[in-house]
Amino acid sequence: MTGAVFETLKALIVEDNAHMRTLLRALLNSTGIKDIAEAANGQGALTILRERKSDLVLSDLAMKPMDGLEFTRRVRNDEHNPNPFVPIIMITGHTERYRVEAARDAGVTEFLAKPITAHNLFARIAEIVERPRAFVRCDNYFGPDRRRHTLDDYAGPWRRQDDFQQEVDVR
Amino acid sequence: MKTALKQMAQIIAADTYPQMVSRQNAARAMQTLRSAEVAANAQAAMDAQVPAMRAAILEYVDELENAQSDMTKIFETAHEIRGFAESAGLVTTGRIADILCRYMDDMERIKKPVDLTLVALNVSAIGRAARAEDGDVAMGDAVAAELAALVARRLTDAGHG
C-alpha cells in the first residue's frame, strides 16, 4: 500500500540529532517517500532547498547556528528560495505556548510535539494533504493562514477584506 | 468598531500555489496514510530504532551526570533526552527530563536562578529511570510525580505565574 503518490515526493529533514533524523527518515520511508535529504541545521537546509526541489520539510526548532524559526522565516521570505510555499512541519520538544506561537508566526505549516509517533506525524501530513491552507502576505508576515478558528473575542488586527464583509452586507 | 490597517493582507488561495499532493491525488495519498500496512511498516521502523535510541539515551544520561554545574549543558542534554526517550520506550525518563526542562525554561523566563539541589535531584532521577526503566516503572512514575509537584512549588515560590 505504500503509495505511488508518496514515492514521487522529495522530503527534507532538518534536525541536529542524528538519531531523530534516522527515525524520521524511517517513518517517511514507510509511507513510500524515499527521496529524502538531510541537514543538521537551518543554514545547511537553505542551501539544499535552493539546489533541490523539496515537497515537504520536517524541521527541528532548536539548532545551531540557525534554528528552525529563522530557517522557516528565510524559507518564506528569501527571494532565492524557489518554493516559499513548501509545507514545513516543526517537530520539537519545546512545547511551551510561547514557542508554539513563535513557530506559527515564523510561518510553519504544522507543529508536532516530541516524542514522535507515526500516528501523529502522519496526522500532520494528512492535514497538509486534506486541508491545504491559504497563504497570507501582509506587512510583517508571509506564510500559511494563521486563523484556523473563528474567535468570538478576536480583537484584530483587521486587515482582510472579509473582516469587513459582514458590515458591508448589512448595509 | 473595526479599524482597517493601511496595508490590507493579500490572501493567496490554496488552489493557486503548488501543493505537496495535487487535488487529484489527495484521496489516494490519504488512503496510504490511513492504511494498516503503512501503520505496521511505521511501527516496525520505529521498533527497529529502539536499541540504538536506548543506547544513545544512556550516553546522554552519562553526559548529563557529568555536566556538574554547567546549566546550559544540563538543559541542552535534558532537552535531547526528552525529545526521544519516549520513542525509545523510556517513558519515565522522558517525563522527568521534560519536568527538568520546563523548570529551567520557566526560571530563565522569569530571570531567577535555578535551585541547584532540585536540578541535581532531577538529573539523578533521570539516570535511575533510564537504567532501570524496564524494572521499576511504578516507582519511576511515583518519583516523576513527586518531582513535578516539587518543581511546581519551587516555581510558585519564585513568583512564576
Q: How far is A121 from chain B (nearest CA, A)?
A: 10
Q: What residue of B is the nearest CA neighbor of A28? A: B42
Amino acid (1-letter code) at residue A129: V
**pLDDT reported for residue A3:** 60
Grid cell locating B39? 501503520
- For chain A, say whether B105 makes contact (Cβ under 8 Å): yes
Do B14 and A4 lie within an 8 Å CB cutoff? no
Do A122 and B42 lie within an 8 Å CB cutoff? yes
Q: What residue of A is the nearest CA neighbor of B89? A: A115
**pLDDT reported for residue A130:** 94
In the predicted structure, residue B117 carries a pLDDT above the cut 90: yes
Identify whether the C-beta of residue B93 lies closer than 8 Å to the C-beta of residue B81. Answer: yes
CA distance A103 to A59: 11
In words, the CATH class of domain B51-157 is mainly alpha
Grid cell locating A78? 528569501
Strand pairing partners for B52?
A: none
Which chain A positions have a beta carbon within 8 Å of B32's beta carbon? 1-3, 5-6, 31-32
**pLDDT reported for residue B136:** 60
Model-level pTM greater than 0.90?
no
- For chain A, say whether B56 makes contact (Cβ under 8 Å): yes
Buried b or exposed e, range A94-128, using 16+ CB within 10 angstroms:
bbeeebbebbbebbbbbbbebbbbbeebbebbbeb
Among A19-23, A158-162, B68-72, B92-96, name the one with the lowest average pLDDT: A158-162
Within 13 A of A58's CA, how many CA atoms are on the CB side? Answer: 29
Strands A35-39 and A10-14: parallel
Do A156 and B9 lie within an 8 Å CB cutoff? no
Nearest to B7 among A92, A156, A159 (CB): A159
In the predicted structure, residue A169 carries a pLDDT above the cut 50: no
Q: Domain limits of chain B?
A: 51-157
CA distance B80 to B73: 11
Query: What is A4-145's CATH number, 3.40.50.2300, 3.40.50.300, 2.40.30.10, 3.30.70.360?
Result: 3.40.50.2300
Grid cell locating B63? 553526559
* pLDDT more than 70, % of chain B: 91
Q: From the candidates A2, A16, A30, which should be mutated to test the interface with B, based on the most B CB atoms within 10 A? A: A30
Per-residue pLDDT band for A72 (boundaries 50, 70, 90) equals very high
Q: Kindly report the average pLDDT of chain B as a whole number.
A: 89
Identify whether the C-beta of residue A11 lies closer than 8 Å to the C-beta of residue A56. Answer: yes
**pLDDT reported for residue B71:** 96
This model of the complex carries an ipTM of 0.81
